[in-house]
Amino acid sequence: MRRVAVVVVTFNSAPLLEELIASLPDGLAGLEWELVIADNGSSDGTIDCARALFPAVTVVETGGNLGYSAGINAGVAAAARHDAVLVLNPDVRLAAGCGVALMDALDGQGVGVAVPQLTDGAGRLIWSMRREPTLLRGLGEALAGATRAGRSAVFGEVVSSAVDYESVRDVDWAEGSTQLISTRCWAEVGEWDPSWFLFSEETDFGLRVRDAGLRTRFVPTARAVHLEGPSGTHPGLRALLLCNRVRLVAMRRGRPAGCAFWVLTVTRETIRIVTGRAGTVLALRALVTPGLLFGARGPEWVAAAARGARGGSRTRRI
């Protein structure tokens, strides 16, 4: 029987664990699995809660709030032998049969990562598929917004046409809350990059999967609920999200492209502030701070704001 290491990264996540763990037996029916929780320094009893709910859990204490990628890496390192790693946010709930559907997708030629169709707590479809960030897509989002621009493969990063979520398809990368990664993919691509702390880490990993000649496959018959959180509105988290997107483009496409993407991002955030949407002055301030593009994380005070808000757990909505 195929074996899955379920790796959950937690940070003060005690209230979320009961429903997550309750969803695992049906969600992973037909598979052997173990639960590994990598805890990023919780102070709310998360570890005790996990052990009470699931005594067989393997708990890895990372020793501090190290971020989502570092937590994933620590959890995978502590897992027993497995055929695939299921990365989960603590606010995910698997639907029955989700695991087998994702595992079957990994049998496809060249498939390294499989991701499910996600809905939010109210049952609404989440736009979880993404295209690689480019200048044209940055321009499209600045002028038309992410949802409208996403209906075009040329001008949008977010795949935002409902019809695209009705069939199996390969994508550049996908939202990082729920991903099944084959051991072959993990061996060839390597660990998640912990320097991101939070945001763009799944973009970086997904694009490295593609660079290695492997595929990220969206599987609509695999279903999960992601409750999500407030990253689109919390100023510190939004600032870090935007800073890391600029940094990612600069790293992958070079300094000139990074500078141009920065201009587009600043323009978009300014428009959002002026029109009263979810833009923030803190995010704009972070974007114009010298040294952003090629710093380790952007301004350290932005990373600190994000740590204080949500820590290393990816409960967020963009």
Distance CA 135, CA 228 (A): 28
User: Residue 280: what pLDDT?
Assistant: 76
Same domain? 44 vs 184:
yes
Strands 215-226, 111-119: pairing kind: parallel
Q: Which of 226, 260, 286 is the last residue of a domain?
A: 226
Domain coverage including residue 263: 235-310
Domain total of the chain? 2
What percent of the chain has pLDDT above 90? Answer: 71
User: Residue 97: what pLDDT?
Assistant: 98
User: Residue 52: what pLDDT?
Assistant: 98
Cβ–Cβ < 8 Å for 35, 113: no
- Structure confidence by residue, pLDDT tens digits, 160-196: 999 999 999 999 999 999 999 999 999 999 999 998 8
Q: Give the distance between the most distant pair of CA atoms in the chain.
A: 56
Q: Which of 230, 318, 214 is nearest to 272 (CA)?
A: 318
Same domain? 101 vs 39:
yes
153 pLDDT more than 60 = yes
User: Residue 145: what pLDDT?
Assistant: 85
Q: Which of 43-47, 123-127, 275-279 has the lowest mean pLDDT?
A: 275-279
Q: What is the pTM of this model?
A: 0.89
- Structure confidence by residue, pLDDT tens digits, 241-292: 888 899 899 999 998 998 999 999 998 888 888 887 776 788 888 888 765 5
User: Residue 239: what pLDDT?
Assistant: 83
Q: Which of 51-55, 61-65, 254-258, 306-310 has the lowest mean pLDDT?
A: 306-310
- Structure confidence by residue, pLDDT tens digits, 4-28: 999 999 999 999 999 999 999 999 9
Same domain? 203 vs 299:
no
Which of left, alpha, beta for 223 (phi over 0: left; psi -120 to 50: alpha)? beta
Same domain? 43 vs 188:
yes
- Asked whether residue 304 is domain-assigned, the answer is yes
Distance CA 216, CA 304 (A): 32
User: Residue 228: what pLDDT?
Assistant: 75
